[in-house]
Structure 1
Amino acid sequence: MLEIDGSQGEGGGQVLRTSLSLSALTGRPFRLTNIRAGRSKPGLRPQHLTAVQAVAATCQAAVEGARINAGSL
């Protein structure tokens, strides 16, 4: 499993979106920590949770920790 620190770079939602996309394309699982750590409201926001749920449903993937304000997946 690939471990990704979401506080890297801008510390926003792009790390999550890129991780989801690449995981869906490659089938490689990942664990994302410090989601949106650089933001005033860190963690998953509703729009990020919707994206996670949509990709998981499309790929028939299992997701742990997918909830509003979650700091890791």
Structure 2
Amino acid sequence: MGQDLILIDGTEGGGQVLRTALSLSMITGQAFRMTGIRGKRSRPGLLRQHLTAVRAAAEICGAKVLGAELNSTAIGFRPGAVKAGEYSFAIGTAGSTILVRRFRPIA
């Protein structure tokens, strides 16, 4: 992923840290690597809704992503240019819809 990454420790946070990092990365074009994703949660790592958010962000901006797997505790995200358009993502639960919808204002 290169040397110009912002390194983020996600141990203390939950999914909000990840979603914020994804949004800011897409807006600024700055790549990041996050480790310890949801590290202090009873089920650490990426859950289905977090993985959907990562994949949605990657599709919207053509990002290169490393580590985007269920239960992964680390990802790398290098955004490309945001592409306007209509997007559809299968989230799985209604409660998670608003979490992914966060990317709508960007696209």
Structure 1-normalised TM-score? 0.94
Structure 2 spans left out of the alignment, 5+ residues: 76-107
Of the two, which has the highest radius of gyration?
2
Q: Find the counterpart in structure 2 of residue 6 from structure 1.
A: 10
Q: Which runs of 4+ in 1 moved over 3 A?
A: none
- How many aligned residue pairs are there? 71
Between the aligned partners of 1:39 and 1:20, the Cα distance in structure 2 is 20
Q: Find the counterpart in structure 1 of residue 101 from structure 2.
A: none
Note the 1:18-29 alignment, pairs <5 A: 18-29=20-31
- Percent sequence identity is 58
Larger relative contact order (Cα-Cα within 8 Å, sequence gap ≥ 6): 1
Question: Which one of 59, 62, 65 corresponds to residue 60 of structure 1?
Answer: 62
CA RMSD of aligned residues (A): 0.6
Confirm or deny that 1:47 pairs with 2:45: no
Structure 1 spans left out of the alignment, 5+ residues: none
